[in-house]
Structure 1
């Protein structure tokens, strides 16, 4: 048996159709010294009975019932019962590559503390994968291959929630699962960033991520866009915002308006620019919109870009870099 104990944390709710495949992929790991803390979050199908049968045969599987409600409480309970020196998450509807645990453990042991082991992910859907998930997979994997995940943290969650591993002490330092804030995976990614946990580059597909219509990220209100945006604003204010510099929003579409509304609610002053001639000079939320050329008149501005179109983003980046502005210091893409 391998020496290092890895604790795997899984919340589950009504995933009876997928649990067998998930659990078999864990049992098949080539690193066999693991414990699975798997928490039933009030399932109403036969998920609990299915996991119970697995736990009866394999004592490494510890089946628990959520004493609270939701994924965060389930993760907190699982973590409180864990005994491993290394901690990882898993989703009950996904599949592990057989070398997932051993590969991430080897990366952590090589690089040492204050690092996050990651792997590439592969989405799959029996009915075919939508363009949005395919783009997210490609974007996320490109960041992970270079360990540059934090460079675009304000766009989307840059740490795949079911495909990371850290040392126990590092997770405790970052606050573990003590924060009652959704989306919980994105919140944890920001805390990894806050505590300067370095992302280890990976070239290996280690996790197979199932997409289907009933997946929690598609159906639970905790994962609605407004929760993501407020999380971004709050961490930006804490970690990157320099109050001595003028703050600029670039973009007056739906996302730009949402950002503007949140900044006003949080009493954060900003200047609003866009490149739409029909909007320049008009007022939205009592704020006048300037041409993006107004940036040239500002001294050391910080800019939140809310334009989603990839071609437009590339053009905006060129404008900002021509002004000697740097990514994640002077400008931040929020979509």
Structure 2
């Protein structure tokens, strides 16, 4: 089929200030064969009314009411109604570029199943985009341009939740939205990775990401730092952990200590190294802190690195490469 149906699922709650712009950007897509399944998650403002007005004038739009509670339940309801060959998600406060669906559909038609169509993103805000989001945007787009998103998945979510598209058959194979794990977008990215889907390179901005003070990613406990670490550690154990290797934790800051506790609680033996001369030789959680030089004596190491400074990361990578260690086989940056 030349122009297969695309199902767009949209959970929404109290986004009346932005929802019309979001839905209008979908209505104005250059690709016409789509369906929108929008699920209201207990809105108390005019969001549902806005969606209903659009649905009454365009039969490609359907508005449902969440029978459960929360974004995952809303996504699951929307997906149960989806009939498309391709599946994508949209957030109710964001904006699609006019060619987003067309670019993604053509990419998937070219590359076939076992692939994810992604696109570059751009943050925008009425009050200006802060430095943290600007850095994340630049990092994410650099990965997307080459389709190398999964090469740094343990650092941060590498698939922007509203800017991907997959074959429905692949989505079902990856478990669709059938997960109660938060943050649900990062969990889905890990499941794409676990099932060996490949990202299709894209050098176009296909999604405009709106930032504002009450956006869910800013306010929800599900996006707290410890939740991200829980998710990373869960998938590291499931996908990467090699019983034939010796686990080494690099870094003794806050994240390093949190990871040490997780390793201890999981009964995983590990060596702990750092560059901080004040900590070397001391015991934290009854584990001796060793110098980085000890790494040269450890056979078959598998490193979890929690050092966040970018310049330090470059130096670490140079050292590990000099020891003939390979990224995503022998070492993983967790931040």
The question of a shared fold, defined as TM-score above 0.5 by the shorter chain, is answered with yes
Q: Deviations over 1:178-234 (max 9, x none)?
A: 111011111111111111001000010000000111000111111111111011001
Counterpart for residue 26 of structure 1: 26
- Runs (4 or more) in structure 1 with deviation over 2 Å come to none
- Relative to the length of structure 1, the TM-score reads 0.99
Separation in structure 1 between the aligned mates of residue 275 and residue 159 of structure 2, nearest angstrom: 32
Counterpart for residue 187 of structure 2: 187
Deviation at residue 286 of structure 1 after TM alignment: 1.1
Q: Deviations over 1:124-179 (max 9, x none)?
A: 11101100000000000000000111110000000111000000000000000111
Counterpart for residue 302 of structure 1: 302
Counterpart for residue 319 of structure 1: 319
Consecutive unaligned residues in structure 2, runs of 5 or more:
none
Residue 104 (structure 2) pairs with residue 90 (structure 1):
no
Counterpart for residue 49 of structure 1: 49
Contact persistence 1:305–1:332 (CA under 8 A):
yes
Counterpart for residue 115 of structure 1: 115
Contact persistence 1:249–1:271 (CA under 8 A):
yes
Separation in structure 1 between the aligned mates of residue 152 and residue 56 of structure 2, nearest angstrom: 44
Residue 18 (structure 2) pairs with residue 8 (structure 1):
no
Separation in structure 2 between the aligned mates of residue 208 and residue 2 of structure 1, nearest angstrom: 27
Counterpart for residue 334 of structure 2: 334
Separation in structure 2 between the aligned mates of residue 271 and residue 73 of structure 1, nearest angstrom: 41
Separation in structure 2 between the aligned mates of residue 109 and residue 21 of structure 1, nearest angstrom: 29
Q: Deviations over 1:93-138 (max 9, x none)?
A: 0000000000000000000010000000000111011000000000
Residue 80 (structure 2) pairs with residue 80 (structure 1):
yes
Separation in structure 1 between the aligned mates of residue 301 and residue 214 of structure 2, nearest angstrom: 43
Separation in structure 2 between the aligned mates of residue 183 and residue 278 of structure 1, nearest angstrom: 36
> 1:1-335 residue pairs with structure 2 within 5 A?
3-335=3-335
Tell me the C-alpha RMSD between the 2 structures: 1.0
Separation in structure 2 between the aligned mates of residue 46 and residue 263 of structure 1, nearest angstrom: 47
Separation in structure 2 between the aligned mates of residue 208 and residue 48 of structure 1, nearest angstrom: 22
Separation in structure 1 between the aligned mates of residue 177 and residue 239 of structure 2, nearest angstrom: 20
Deviation at residue 243 of structure 1 after TM alignment: 1.3
Contact persistence 1:151–1:328 (CA under 8 A):
yes
Separation in structure 2 between the aligned mates of residue 120 and residue 305 of structure 1, nearest angstrom: 27
Q: Deviations over 1:267-291 (max 9, x none)?
A: 2221100000000011111111000
- Further displaced range: 100-109 or 54-63: 54-63
Tell me, what secondary structure is at the counterpart of 2:178? coil
Deviation at residue 3 of structure 1 after TM alignment: 3.1
Separation in structure 1 between the aligned mates of residue 2 and residue 240 of structure 2, nearest angstrom: 42
Tell me, what secondary structure is at the counterpart of 2:249? strand
Separation in structure 1 between the aligned mates of residue 3 and residue 321 of structure 2, nearest angstrom: 49
Tell me, what secondary structure is at the counterpart of 1:36? strand
Contact persistence 2:29–2:101 (CA under 8 A):
yes
Separation in structure 2 between the aligned mates of residue 201 and residue 231 of structure 1, nearest angstrom: 26
Contact persistence 2:16–2:50 (CA under 8 A):
yes
Tell me, what secondary structure is at the counterpart of 1:63? strand
- Further displaced range: 115-124 or 265-274: 265-274
Contact persistence 2:244–2:300 (CA under 8 A):
no
Contact persistence 2:273–2:289 (CA under 8 A):
yes
- Further displaced range: 45-54 or 228-237: 45-54
Contact persistence 1:2–1:32 (CA under 8 A):
no
Tell me, what secondary structure is at the counterpart of 1:249? strand
